[in-house]
Amino acid sequence: MTNKPPITGEFPLTRMRRNRADDWSRRLISESRLSVDDLIWPMFVIEGENKSEPVSSMPGVERLSVDRLVAQAGEAEALGIPAIAIFPNTDAKLKTSDAKEAVNPDNLVCRAVRAIKEKHSGVGIICDVALDPYNSDGHDGLVRDGKILNDETVEVLCQQSIMQARAGCDIIAPSDMMDGRIKAIREALDGEGFQHVRIVSYAAKYASAFYGPFRDAVGSGGALKGDKKTYQMDSANTDEALREVAMDIREGADMVMVKPGMPYLDIIHRIKDTFAMPTLAFQVSGEYAMVQAASANGWLDHDAVMMESLMAFKRAGADAVLTYFAPKAARLLQNT
């Protein structure tokens, strides 16, 4: 990325179409590249054995039992996708107001991480840190008298991070938007000897309606009481995103994330420009669902729109993209 003003020529000495005239010269001057190395594949895990369930609002995405998830992680590794992100669909019976299943060392996520690490140690594993899969309120934090508690939640998040690190998780990804959690989690991990475990902070995470299909996928949508506007960001704000990122960098984040993706490309661009940090984008469930629905109707060319949307992230300055399109895009990029 450069902020220098371009020197422009004048017609007819300059003809912009000259460089675009052939495929080879278009390739030669292309400014952004998308590669398999830029992809992170989010996956959903359920209880059971040899089981898969379609997610109705995300055609093409399935929730998988641990054994099948291991196979899918193997597919990611074979495709050269550097990392996967695992999200649990927790049994409703295990959801409580203290979200204690979040810190159970044998919960679904921890079992999935251990099983994947055993067979496919070459693929990086990212685990969300937040209480919404385990909370009977569907919120990312503990709730008392209708309020989301900050500091009490952070204590549980630290325990959750340690459990996930013990299971073998490579990247802890706090998605909860509580204040001060990056520093607290970094110190908690270091205190347990997990200095090598990375933290990617969902630093600029907006209170977005684009998460709807994800909440179906993990089964937190029905449980959610109210909305997440007291902790996730207001879609009207950009300066606030810079402050969030600045704080998370000081608190020890190794990478930062912007979420959702395509409606927030301006945020990605500003963050990358300002901080020069490894910056990830999350092309969320609603963005995926829109492309799937429109192309199923024959209104959009699926593969072309998918690749254009992924390239847009690279152009905006993202280093990598969490996307449910990861396996399809990887195959297209490798012509397999």
- Active-site positions read 205, 259
Length of the chain: 336
The minimum distance between CB 109 and ligand PBG, in angstroms, equals: 12
Tell me, residue by residue from 232 to 261, as one string, x for binding to ligand PBG by CB under 6 A and - for no binding: ------------------------------
Out of 38, 77, 140, 170, which residue is the one contacting ligand PBG (CB under 6 A)? 140
Q: Among residue numbers 145 through 204, which ones bind ligand PBG (CB under 6 A)?
A: 175
Stretch that binds ligand PBG, among 75-83, 117-125, 128-136, 144-152 (CB under 6 A): 128-136
Q: Which is nearer to ligand PBG, 195 or 219 (CB)?
A: 219
Other C-beta atoms within 10 Å of 319: how many? 16
Q: How far is the CB of 20 from ligand PBG (least distance, A)?
A: 35
Residue of the chain from 43, 64, 103, 130 that contacts ligand PBG (CB under 6 A): 130
Using rule CB under 6 A, residue 38 touches ligand PBG: no
Among 284, 289, 320, 333, binds ligand PBG (CB under 6 A): 284
- Between CA 185 and CA 199 the distance in angstroms is 9
Task: State the nearest-atom distance from the C-beta of 297 to ligand PBG, in Å.
Answer: 22
Q: Round to whole Å and give the CA distance between 7 and 300.
A: 36
- The yes or no reply on residue 66 touching ligand PBG (CB under 6 A) is no
Quick one: 228 or 269, whose CB is closer to ligand PBG? 228
CA angle 11, 15, 19 (to 5 degrees): 165
Q: What is the chain's percent helix, strand, coil content, to nearest 5? A: 45, 20, 40
Q: CB–CB of 279/318 below 8 Å?
A: yes
Residue 309 as a binder of ligand PBG (CB under 6 A): the answer is no
Q: Are 317 and 267 in contact (CB under 8 A)?
A: no
Which position among 211, 231, 264, 313 is part of the footprint of ligand PBG (CB under 6 A)?
211
Binding-site size, ligand PBG (CB under 6 A): 11
3-class DSSP string for 136-172 = CCCCCCCEECCEECCHHHHHHHHHHHHHHHHHCCCEE
Q: Distance between CA 72 and CA 68 in Å, rounded?
A: 6
CA distance 177 to 324: 22
- Contact between 280 and 321 under an 8 Å Cβ cutoff? The reply is yes
**Contact call for residue 41 and ligand PBG (CB under 6 A):** no
- Cα–Cα distance, 331 to 307 (Å, whole number): 11
Give yes or no for residue 214 binding ligand PBG (CB under 6 A): yes
Q: Which residues would be at the binding site for ligand PBG (CB under 6 A)?
A: 128, 130, 132, 140, 175, 211, 214-215, 228, 284-285
